[in-house]
Amino acid sequence: MHIHVSADVKELSSRVAELLQDDIRQKLQEKDRYTLVLSGGSTPKLLYQILAQEPYRSSIPWEKIHFFWGDERYVPFDDDRNNAKMAYEELLDKVPVVKENIHVMDTGLSPEASAQQYEQVLNSYFGTEGETFDLVLLGMGDDGHTLSLFPGKPIIHEKDKAVSSFYLDAQSMYRITLTAPVVNRAAKVVFMAAGKNKAQVLKQVLQGEKNLDLYPSQIIQPVTGELHWFVDQDAASEIS
């Protein structure tokens, strides 16, 4: 595991943008496509804004990147809470991507059907064994959740499905999410966490005893890939 501490969220986002650009260049020397999982939430928004501007807008071969999402709120695409809508507005509408390479979680279907369809897409790309995504971007909530793996929910321990859906009472909505096994098959996983409100839970996730039901982010441990945490000084303030 690699921990990178930045002064603030702007520096953190710039460092992730650099890592992403370097990783894309390196991987595309060996193959013809790059698979990237985008994250929702507030922290990656600045990253997307940076990537949509120069030099990244011109230096990254966007037409070779295939986009996926880690999770989605079961709301229409035009709802401001929709993770894909945010990514389109901040990034995908502003760089020369190929429309067919963008795979949103379809909230026009039932939650279960959407999850099944997404799993079929993943299986067509990666099969059911071996490496999956080149890079997965993740955030972490104040409660230690990542993706839609919320504390105390059975979805944390899903072993068979790569994608699943469930009803989250606390938010009165369904969530569609990748599960830990498919993310742990990725070549690189990058967490982004910023803010003083993340400090205590980050300390527990990284240095506390293993308690997946309390701190679901602990379950993300790539089998053969790299795990990176990009955090700002506020979030890192409790880490020894």
78, with CB counted inside 10 A (0-12, 13-18, 19+), is exposed
Tokens of 226: 């790299």
Helix (H, G, I), strand (E, B) or coil at 116: helix
Q: For residue 239, is it within any domain?
A: no
DSSP H helical segments within the chain, as ranges? 9-27, 43-51, 56-59, 83-87, 111-126, 180-183, 199-207
Q: Which of 183, 192, 194, 174 shows the shortest CA–CA distance to 219?
A: 183
Could you tell me if residue 238 is inside a domain? no
Return the residue matching tokens 């990666």: 126
Bin 4: left if φ > 0, else alpha if -120 < ψ < 50, else beta.
Answer: beta
Q: Is residue 240 part of a domain?
A: no
Strands 71-73 and 173-178: antiparallel
Interior angle at CA 145, CA 68 and CA 107, nearest 5: 40
Enclosing domain of residue 107: 2-232
pLDDT at 221: 98
Tell me if 166 is assigned to some domain.
yes
Radius of gyration, CA atoms only, the chain: 17
For 102-131, what is the mean pLDDT?
96
pLDDT band at 225 (very low <50, low <70, confident <90, very high): very high
What is residue 146's DSSP assignment?
B
Characterize 85-109 residue by residue with b for buried, 16 or more Cβ atoms within 10 angstroms of its Cβ, and e for exposed.
Answer: bbbbebbbebbebeeebbbbbbbeb
Q: What's the pTM value of the predicted model, to 2 decimals?
A: 0.96
> Considering the domain boundaries, does residue 89 fall inside one?
yes
State yes or no: pLDDT of 118 exceeds 90.
yes
pLDDT for residue 81: 87
Which residues have CB under 8 Å from 110's CB, separation 6+?
Answer: none
pLDDT > 70: percent of the chain: 100
Residue 237 lies in a domain: no
Secondary-structure percent of the chain, ordered helix, strand, coil, rounded to 5: 40, 20, 40
Cβ atoms of 136 and 217 closer than 8 Å: no
Distance between CA atoms of 100 and 103, rounded to whole angstroms?
8
pLDDT(40) > 90: no
For range 179-200, the mean pLDDT: 97
CATH number of 209's domain: 3.40.50.1360
What are the residues whose beta carbons fall under 8 Å from the beta carbon of 22, sequence distance 6 or more? Answer: none
Domain count, the chain: 1
pLDDT of residue 32: 96
